Amino acid sequence: MDDKTYNILTLNPGSTSTKVALYRNEEAIALEIIRHKPEDFKDCIRIMDQKEVRTKLLLDFLNAKEVDPSGLDAVVGRGGLVKPIDSGTYRINEKMLRDLSRGSAGMHASSLGGIIAAEIGERYGIPAYIVDPVVVDEMAPVAKLSGIPGIERRSVFHALNTKAVARACAEKIGIRYEDGRFIVAHMGGGISVGAHQYGCVIDVNDALSGEGPFTPERSGSVPLVALIEMCYGGQYTKEEMIALVTRQGGVLAYLGTSDMVKVEKMIKNGDEYAALVMDAMAYQVCKTIGAMAVVLGNQVNAIILTGGLAHSLRFTGEIKRRVDQMAPVITYPGENEMAALAQGALRILQGKEKSLIYQ
């Protein structure tokens, strides 16, 4: 048993913020969300141009906490859009940095997590990692076929948080994550529902590109012929259609807001249409959970609800009402991504796992 105390820095860049945290083993001793003003990035044309600004703010955070970076045992960044990889903790290498910088798999602020972590690690002589990026791909070959050659189903989902809560749930019920079968629904601005079998997510909806349940901001799966007609109807450009599917659909399109707290207030004030929309979203989550139960051969240790929407008793209650006959339903509200990053590095430092090599 490794009783040593490890100090771990985690960082998670988003489009308008950078979350940073310090951990002693699994205990968070400092956590801050650095909100970025538009003027912070006024000279930044590309996302990659934001690196220096965000790195300085991160070092300012450490200085304010009187933390010497050279005394850290590891720094962990949120994994960005690299090529599809297996789940696990990866030591950041030059090939990964090239792929993150070039945006060959797409460009998102999360890619700066690995890049900034690598810079901090090199500057202060500490190991730098990423853990379970959104492109973790463990899907079974049979799950890849879409029905149209040339269009393959993709594994793009909330891997970091869903893997973490599945591990926590497995520990709670007294089994190893690698020995269990779980359905995990991460429900936030995007919704992913995955079938976790013996440590691998063998099927999951593409939470980014319009598959699965509709969400507060995304369309989810829609009737395709009607969608094609909309594309060619002359009302929308290609960019507007992509926006409608990925960030202007779902609850936002129906009710004019993606803030589910506001939606619940609308329902309490007697808005029956708002209630219908919220219940329809829960209904679609349940249908996807049912599909994943079939993927797992109807042998499910637990159904796990997580993400920001898991705070809503009304929303989770509607889901539980429909699916709790399948398996016990366990709720882990919110996103536990910062803790999951620290835990991924800690498993390496304690010798419980070996870091993986990005190739």
- What pLDDT, on a 0 to 100 scale, did the predictor assign at position 335? 83
Q: In the structure encoding, which two tokens stand for residue 39, read together?
A: 């003027």
> Can you give the pLDDT at residue 167?
94
**pLDDT at residue 131 is higher than 90:** yes
Residues 291-333: tens digit of each pLDDT: 999 999 999 999 999 999 999 999 999 999 999 999 999 999 9
Token pair for 189: 């601005």
Lowest average pLDDT, out of 44-58, 113-127, 147-161, 241-255, goes to: 44-58
- Does the model's pTM come out above 0.75? yes
Summarize the confidence of residues 103-115 as an average pLDDT.
Answer: 79
Q: Write out pLDDT tens, residues 177-186.
A: 999 999 999 9
Q: What is the pLDDT of residue 148?
A: 96
pLDDT of residue 106: 64
Q: List, for residues 25-80, the tens digit of each pLDDT value.
A: 999 999 998 888 778 888 888 888 888 999 998 999 999 999 999 999 999 998 88
The reported pLDDT for the residue numbered 346 is 97
Give the per-residue SS3 of the chain: CCCCCCEEEEEEECCCEEEEEEEECCEEEEEEEEECCHHHHCCCCCHHHHHHHHHHHHHHHHHHCCCCHHHCCEEEEECCCCCCECCCEEECCHHHHHHHHHCCCCCCCCHHHHHHHHHHHHHHCCCEEEECCCCECCCCHHHHECCCCCCECCCCCCHHHHHHHHHHHHHHHCCCHHHCEEEEEEECCCEEEEEEECCEEEEECCCCCCCCCCCCCCCCCCCHHHHHHHHCCCCCCHHHHHHHHHCCCHHHHHHCCCCHHHHHHHHHCCCHHHHHHHHHHHHHHHHHHHHHHHHCCCCCCEEEEEEHHHHCHHHHHHHHHHHCCCCCEEEEEECCHHHHHHHHHHHHHCCCCCCEECC
Higher pLDDT among residues 127 and 14, named by residue = 127
> Which whole-number Å values give the CA distances from 280 to 51, 109, 250, 263, 277, in the listed order?
41, 31, 10, 13, 5
Whether 104 shows a pLDDT value over 70: the answer reads no
CATH placement of domain 7-137+337-357: 3.30.420.40
For range 238-265, the mean pLDDT: 95
Q: Is the pLDDT of residue 105 over 80?
A: no
Greater confidence (209 vs 251) lies with 251
Residue 110: per-residue pLDDT:
83
Q: How much is the pLDDT for 134?
A: 85
CATH topology agreement for domains 7-137+337-357 and 159-333: yes
Arithmetic mean of pLDDT over the chain: 93
Question: Which pLDDT belongs to residue 6?
Answer: 97
Model pLDDT, residue 48: 85
Q: Is the pLDDT of residue 1 over 60?
A: no
Percent of the chain with pLDDT over 90: 81
Residue 3 has pLDDT above 60, yes or no: yes
Q: For the chain, what are the domain ranges?
A: 7-137+337-357, 159-333
- One CATH from 3.30.930.10, 3.30.420.40, 3.40.50.300, 1.10.3720.10 for 159-333: 3.30.420.40
Q: Are 112 and 34 in contact (CB under 8 A)?
A: no
